Amino acid sequence: MRREVGLTVNGRVYPVYVDPAETLLYCLRERLGLTGTKEGCGDGECGACNVLVDGVLRNACQTLVGEAEGREIVTIEGLAADGALHPLQEAFIATGAVQCGFCTPGLLMSAKALLDRVPEPTEPEIREAVAGNLCRCTGYVKVVEAITAASRGVIPQLPEAGIGANVARADALEKVTGAALFGADVSRPFQLWGAVVRSPRAHARIRGIDAAPALALPGVHAVVTGAELPADLFYGVDLHDQQVLARDKVRYIGEPVALVAADTPESAALAAAAVALDLEDLPEVHTLDQALADGAPLVHERLDDYHAGWPAVRYGNVCSESFISRGDADAAESACDRVFTHTFETQIVHQSYLEPHASLAEADARGKVTIWTTNQKPFAVRRYMAHSLGWPMTRIRVIGMHIGGGFGGKLEMGLEPFCALLALKTGHPVKMVMSRREEFVGANPRHASRITVTTGVTADMKIVFRRGDVLLDTGAFSGNGPTAVGLAMFLLPGPYKIDNLHLRGRCLYSNKPSSGSCRGPGGPQAVFAGESQIDIIAREMGWDPLQFRLANVVGEGDIIGAGQRLHDVGLRECLERVAEEIGWDDPKAADQGKGLACSWWTSGGWSTAAQVNLNEDGTVTLVTGAVDIGTGAKFTSMPQMVAEELRLKVGDVIISSCDTDSSPYDHGDGGSRMTYNVGHVCRMAALDLRSEILERAALLAGDDPADLELTEEGVTAVDGGRLVLTLAEIAERSRVSDQGPLAGRASFLAQQPACEEGVCGGLTYPAFLAPTFSAQAAAVRVDRLTGQVTVNRVAAAMDVGRAINPMAVEGQLEGGVAMGLGYGLMEEVKMVEGRVVNPDFIDYKIPTAADMPEVVPIIVEEPSGSGPHGAKGVGEPPASLPAAAVANAVEDAVGVRLRSLPMTAEAVFAALGGASPGE
Amino acid sequence: MTVEYVRPSSLAEALSAAAKPGARLLAGGTDILLPPRDGSDPVLTLVSLRDLAELRGIRRDGDGSWVLGAAVTHDEVSRDPAMVRVFPALAAACRAVGSPAVRSVATVVGNICTAAPSADAAVPLLAYGAEVIVAAGQPVERRIPLRGFFTGPRRTVLAHGDVVTGVRLPDPGRYGAAFHRVSRRRALDIAQVCVAAVVWIGPGGECEDLSLALGSVAPTPLLVPGVAEVARDRRCSASLLDELAAAAVAAARPISDVRASAAYRRSMVAALTRAAVEEAWGRAEGRVS
Ligand SMILES: Cc1cc2nc3c(=O)[nH]c(=O)nc-3n(C[C@H](O)[C@H](O)[C@H](O)COP(=O)(O)OP(=O)(O)OC[C@H]3O[C@@H](n4cnc5c(N)ncnc54)[C@H](O)[C@@H]3O)c2cc1C
Ligand code: FES
Ligand code: FES
């Protein structure tokens, strides 16, 4: 029952008229507009909502308003006192502890609670104190560093510009103060809340949907079903096999079948539960073998009718088949001294960005919808909506908000069309936020895999051939599966010189949630298989795993993948440096072991454009359609490169947000493409502006452009350095009297390197652009009593071409290691007959600060010929190696080999032969 | 369906509010505010214990026993110097619960009243022979031995309207205790198995009494029967550890679920029992701090 409640928040009393049984989190966010406190799970399992109540750290999602009434509540918005940042906030900025920033407010509140109690905490104390704050981006390394720095009063000063300089992220300040707006942080007057009706069955024909019981509930405004949408329009990443809502049948538990809009989140949820579905079960496909079996039930009956954006080979439940074949693996086999075949299996894991999907849509009088969303590809959302709903793009506007982590999970269209349809139908703005449970059943996790790999070697340590069969389970829709299979095929042979290669990849449908992209799609699966086998071979042959790798790694000019020639290869240095860092040749104690893995990956391509406008005061605005999922490329390297060409400070660059109505096109944030690709176009646009500035200055001053140059002061004479005009003077005079405002523009689509004719087929991505190289080494200890693997240390090296912002690059390495360790040791979306049985952050386990080992990031720079300043793409690869490195270390420690993931204590215990007493 | 929130200012008021149909007590709220489980009774009213001063704090009674008020949180127990010194296994269990933001509000009494099979604090409390103190409207409070408190997963002997005011721990005297736990993560995780061991030894190093409790391996937290008889008058030895481990395994009735298989749980009961008894013994002899 509602009543007047006095809430004291950050020293101010807010009288609110609410139900005291409402959560403090909802009240702070939706009634007081204090959206700095985040909701990552709603169940006390992530810490994103941490606040202090009378000095006590609490999860606001598990605190009722009545419990906080009359007490002193401090939220992130109250951490900075009297206009000065708290030392913790300064330290988070200065050490690079902020990436996506979604976990940051909660982490800062936990850290404050700690420092209030223990002014100079030790590292274990810090890790324990923040162990309830899940962070998916940072691996906690810089978080621990920041808290230590703040407590000791030693906060580093950062430079303001420069290539290779640790400039602070341009969005860090808004993220440490809670001001940054993420997907769920926007609201509109009179907004409704939407909810999704999801299929309770894995495979069933839809006989009918009865919305009447939902519509009869109080506060319910509308229900939308698939029957109202175009019957013959489909969309998809590569294969257009998906519709906005299920129409004739459902293909997985959790598939959206209808939408509801209501006054509150609770009434929307109740209404969604009340929509009655009449379903007739069909035979289900849950495993790879079931999908491949003769006469298997078909997940998609009309596979051939779907539009495919590449020469697709598809049949039965195989949505894409592809091959790479170089040399002659069969003939080479006879030349080998030993041939090894092994099969490896990996599980489904979830990206587990801390910010759930969230969108808000509002329709205007002409039926144009504006959508605020947290999506990695706002332009693709507009395109997919046009494809699947048949709307012209003039009716769709997508605005990109801050993204609280994506890792590929927000590359596909999510809630956007749902909100748009409900907004049109109700005439109200409609907001939707996925619950953490929905995230596990209704998003796009990483593909489960089964990979068989055969390798032949000669006694002199040469790899003669490799054969591979890659099977990925893509679930109900192809998603990014066809590309993920291809990428796995590129990675399976490893970064080795192998002249005879025969790889086959298949992506299979099943009645599971659709898998999508996850940080380096196909990568961790293939690296686990390929690099585990490298160690198995070395052990069997009595070779040192490091030497075996070094004897086969690729170098300048070598042929790799589907026949592309390599350049700028920093791989050997990566391997040597991680081996040194981990003490490869040092003796080891009992039950301790070390393991290595190495790999390669692409810098991402795809179209982009940018504009740099000269402002009247001589600052500039960088206009890009790029968004940032947390890596910071948009807030570090891109403005750094623009500032560099214009001799400005990063603080002089306004960075636009993405709005499909006003930003130039960009493909989206994913595929390690931001610094390499978008950074390149930003730099080109800055260079374009620079030449315009010099020409305009020459015109205004009556000089020859060739005699002028741009310096920190403005345009100066090459000869003697006389200041001709400042940028502000040029801008202002151009605006008022001469030729109009100045802007530089550029468009870019990186050209894929050529690969050999006939060597591959069915691939969506046939060559790696500006390849990067990585190596990691892990040191572990295995507890034989429990099977628990403790990772003590990981060294992670990557050839990044050129680190435009080394602190940001380290952040990618550290965060990638954390994600890869989670993948290797603890994470798994568990399904029973297509139903996810662990859809929460307690039973789906991502590493906490207490689980993370020491991580040593090592930056190797072998500049690429094509990237800006030699940069290559960084984001994805670090997550692909840890599982393999740990598996190899486990065998080194206790002599058992795990061929499937995750390597839980239970799995290791079983491998060690641990039998249950009495069994 | 909306839930009503009431905040009584005295125990008497709380008792009458708790007696209403559909009423449930709200302590830290970390269990009761989770999404309702299938088949659980609908909560119509939440009765907040927040303002009841009489439930706060840890005190020592005249007979030397310790009483933890129902408002005492895991955080308070794990930081309280007396608790850490006198009841190290309980302090360790409380420190293993969830995360700092959970522990700072979640109560020990809420932990036992939820009666999850995995309730961490319940396990050492069982081993220590704790009693639950219940106010039920009568002038005289009831004391229920914890060993008879749990009747099934999420079920206890409490009647609707009962308010637990605290738990009482007898003065343990000179003894040793240990708490061991396995989980897949080092924080924010529910135990796959946990074991508490409590050992009293005589001047000659022989066992005078011993108790052993298990969590996450049966429908309720569990006291292993018969172990005191096995251990009495014996010294710590590999064969004794094996016998105790066997007794613990025999008492466990684990299931396979999303967190672990029954087989792994049984193995861990044996492994953790050995480790916990050995450590407790070491503490009793003053060898382990
Ligand atoms: C993220 C997370 C992690 C967790 N991890 C763990 C863990 O590792 N180990 C573990 O054991 N538990 C864990 N829990 C569960 C929970 O935190 C504990 O059981 C906690 O001790 C419950 O206490 P509370 O004060 O929050 O109880 P509440 O939720 O307030 O109440 C729990 C139940 O007890 C009843 N109750 C409370 N007080 C009284 C009283 N005085 N008299 C009668 N009945 C009462 C309530 O009505 C309710 O039914 C976790 C919970 C979360 C959300
Ligand atoms: S939102 Fe409160 S802990 Fe996750
Ligand atoms: S920075 Fe922690 S979750 Fe993104």
Span from the CA of A582 to the centroid of ligand 2 (angstroms):
37
Span from the CA of B96 to the centroid of ligand 1 (angstroms):
14
| Distance (Å) of CA B2 to CA A2, A22, B229 | 10, 9, 53
Task: Say whether domain A448-603+756-911 belongs to CATH 3.30.365.10.
Answer: yes
Span from the CA of A841 to the centroid of ligand 2 (angstroms):
10
Give the architecture-level CATH label for domain A188-282+357-433: Alpha-Beta Complex (3.90)
| Distance (Å) of CA A171 to CA A683, A842, A844 | 20, 31, 30
| Distance (Å) of CA B259 to CA A828, B32, B189 | 11, 22, 10
Q: Taking CB atoms and an 8 Å cutoff, what residues of chain B touch A904?
A: 184
Instruction: Please give the DSSP secondary-structure letter assigned to residue A774.
Output: E
Which ipTM score applies to this complex? Answer: 0.97
Residue B262 resides in a domain: yes
Q: Which pLDDT value is given to residue B138?
A: 64
- Only one residue has tokens 């020491």, namely A854
Give percent of chain A with pLDDT exceeding 70.
99
Residue A916 has pLDDT above 60, yes or no: no
Q: Taking CB atoms and an 8 Å cutoff, what residues of chain B touch A218?
A: none
Across the interface, do A64 and B190 touch by the CB < 8 Å criterion?
Answer: no
Residue A264 has pLDDT above 60, yes or no: yes
Classify residue A724 by burial, with Cβ atoms within 10 Å: 0-12, 13-18, 19+.
buried
Closest CA to A901 of A528, A352, A563, A504: A528
Average pLDDT over residues A599-623: 96
Across the interface, do A62 and B29 touch by the CB < 8 Å criterion?
Answer: yes
Q: Which pLDDT value is given to residue B41?
A: 82
Closest approach of A862 to chain B, Cα-based (Å): 38
Residue B133 resides in a domain: no
Across the interface, do B29 and A67 touch by the CB < 8 Å criterion?
Answer: yes
Q: What is the pLDDT of residues B129-172, one digit of tens each?
A: 999 999 976 667 899 999 999 999 999 999 999 999 999 999 99
Residue B268 resides in a domain: yes
Span from the CA of A632 to the centroid of ligand 3 (angstroms):
11
Average pLDDT over residues A454-472: 98
Residue B44 resides in a domain: no
Instruction: Please give the DSSP secondary-structure letter assigned to residue A28.
Output: I
Closest CA to A826 of A848, A845, A850: A845
pLDDT band at A751 (very low <50, low <70, confident <90, very high): confident
Interface test with B, best of A1, A46, A58, A782 (most B CBs within 10 A): A58
CATH number of the domain bearing residue B208:
3.30.390.50
Span from the CA of A258 to the centroid of ligand 3 (angstroms):
32
Q: Which pLDDT value is given to residue B289?
A: 65
A290's tokens: 């079931």
User: Based on the structure, what is the number of domains in chain B?
Assistant: 1
How many CB atoms sit inside 10 A of residue A247's CB? 16
* A732 touches B: beta carbon within 8 Å: no
Closest approach of A820 to chain B, Cα-based (Å): 15
A1-179 with A448-603+756-911: one CATH topology? no
C-beta of residue A871 within 8 angstroms of C-beta of residue A810: no
Q: Which helix (H) or strand (E) holds A692?
A: helix A679-701
Q: Taking CB atoms and an 8 Å cutoff, what residues of chain A touch B50?
A: 66-67
Residue B275 resides in a domain: yes
Classify residue A281 by burial, with Cβ atoms within 10 Å: 0-12, 13-18, 19+.
exposed
Cα dihedral across residues B215, B217, B219, B224: positive or negative? negative
Q: What is the pLDDT of residues A106-122, one digit of tens each?
A: 999 999 999 999 999 99
Q: Which pLDDT value is given to residue A915?
A: 59
CA distance A180 to A403: 10
B157 forms bridges with which residues in the sheet? none
Residue A917 has pLDDT above 60, yes or no: no
Among protein residues, the one with the nearest Cα to ligand 3's atom 2 is: A135
Domain hosting B240: range is 176-284
Average pLDDT over residues A486-513: 97
Task: Say whether domain A1-179 belongs to CATH 3.40.50.261.
Answer: no
Instruction: Please give the DSSP secondary-structure letter assigned to residue A31.
Output: I
Q: Which pLDDT value is given to residue A74?
A: 98
Cis amide linkage into residue B225, ω under 30° from 0: no
Average pLDDT over residues A80-86: 91
Across the interface, which of B30, B184, B264 has its CB nearest the CB of A62?
B30
Q: Which pLDDT value is given to residue A914?
A: 82
The half-sphere exposure of A735 on its side-chain side, counting CA atoms within 13 A, is 13
Residue A519 has pLDDT above 50, yes or no: yes
Contacts A–B by Cβ distance under 8 A: 142
Cα dihedral across residues A560, A562, A567, A571: positive or negative? negative
Average pLDDT over residues A748-777: 90
* A132 touches B: beta carbon within 8 Å: yes
Across the interface, do B245 and A848 touch by the CB < 8 Å criterion?
Answer: no
Which residues approach ligand 2 with their CB closer than 6 A? Answer: A 39-42, 44-49, 59, 61
C-beta of residue A321 within 8 angstroms of C-beta of residue A509: no
pLDDT band at A919 (very low <50, low <70, confident <90, very high): very low
Q: What is the pLDDT of residues A158-217, one digit of tens each?
A: 999 999 999 999 999 999 999 999 999 999 999 999 999 999 999 999 999 999 999 999
Closest CA to A133 of A38, A10, A15: A38
| A589-593, A911-915, B83-87: least confident range | A911-915
Given the CA of residue A354, which atom of ligand 3 is nearest to it?
A: 3
Average pLDDT over residues A775-787: 97
Give percent of chain B with pLDDT exceeding 90.
91
CATH number of the domain located at residue range(s) A608-748 in this protein: 3.30.365.10
| Closest ligand to the CA of A24 | 2
Q: What is the pLDDT of residues A287-332, one digit of tens each?
A: 999 999 999 999 999 999 999 999 999 999 999 999 999 999 999 9
CA distance B273 to B223: 12
C-beta of residue A405 within 8 angstroms of C-beta of residue A355: yes
Q: Give Cβ neighbours of residue A488 (< 8 Å, ≥ 6 apart).
A: A449, A451, A470, A472, A505, A522, A523, A525, A526
Across the interface, do B34 and A44 touch by the CB < 8 Å criterion?
Answer: yes
C-beta of residue A865 within 8 angstroms of C-beta of residue A763: no
Across the interface, do A129 and B100 touch by the CB < 8 Å criterion?
Answer: yes
Residues A620-657 as b/e (b if ≥16 CB within 10 A, e otherwise) read: bebbbbbbbbbbbbbbbbbbbbbbbbbbbbbebbebbb
Beta strands in A616-703 (DSSP E): 620-624, 653-655
Span from the CA of B47 to the centroid of ligand 3 (angstroms):
36
Residue A754 has pLDDT above 80, yes or no: no
Q: Give Cβ neighbours of residue A232 (< 8 Å, ≥ 6 apart).
A: none
Among protein residues, the one with the nearest Cα to ligand 1's atom 18 is: B111
C-beta of residue A47 within 8 angstroms of C-beta of residue A353: no
Three-class SS of A489-512 = HHHCCCCECCCEEEEEEEEEECCC
Q: What is the pLDDT of residues A838-859, one digit of tens each?
A: 999 999 999 999 999 999 999 9
DSSP-derived pairing of the beta strands A500-509 and A463-475: parallel
Q: Which pLDDT value is given to residue B1?
A: 59
Q: What is the pLDDT of residues A556-573, one digit of tens each?
A: 999 999 999 999 999 999
Residue B266 resides in a domain: yes
Residue B137 resides in a domain: no
Classify residue A82 by burial, with Cβ atoms within 10 Å: 0-12, 13-18, 19+.
exposed
Average pLDDT over residues B200-220: 96
Q: Which pLDDT value is given to residue A219?
A: 97
Across the interface, do B271 and A918 touch by the CB < 8 Å criterion?
Answer: no
Residue A68 has pLDDT above 80, yes or no: yes
Q: Taking CB atoms and an 8 Å cutoff, what residues of chain B touch A56?
A: 104-105
A479's tokens: 């998603």
A748's tokens: 């870019």
Which has more confidence, B39 or A459? A459
Residue B261 resides in a domain: yes
Domain segments of chain A: what residues? 1-179, 188-282+357-433, 448-603+756-911, 608-748
pLDDT band at A797 (very low <50, low <70, confident <90, very high): very high
**Which of B7, B11, B24, B25 to mutate for ligand 1's pocket (most ligand atoms within 8 Å of CB)?**
B25
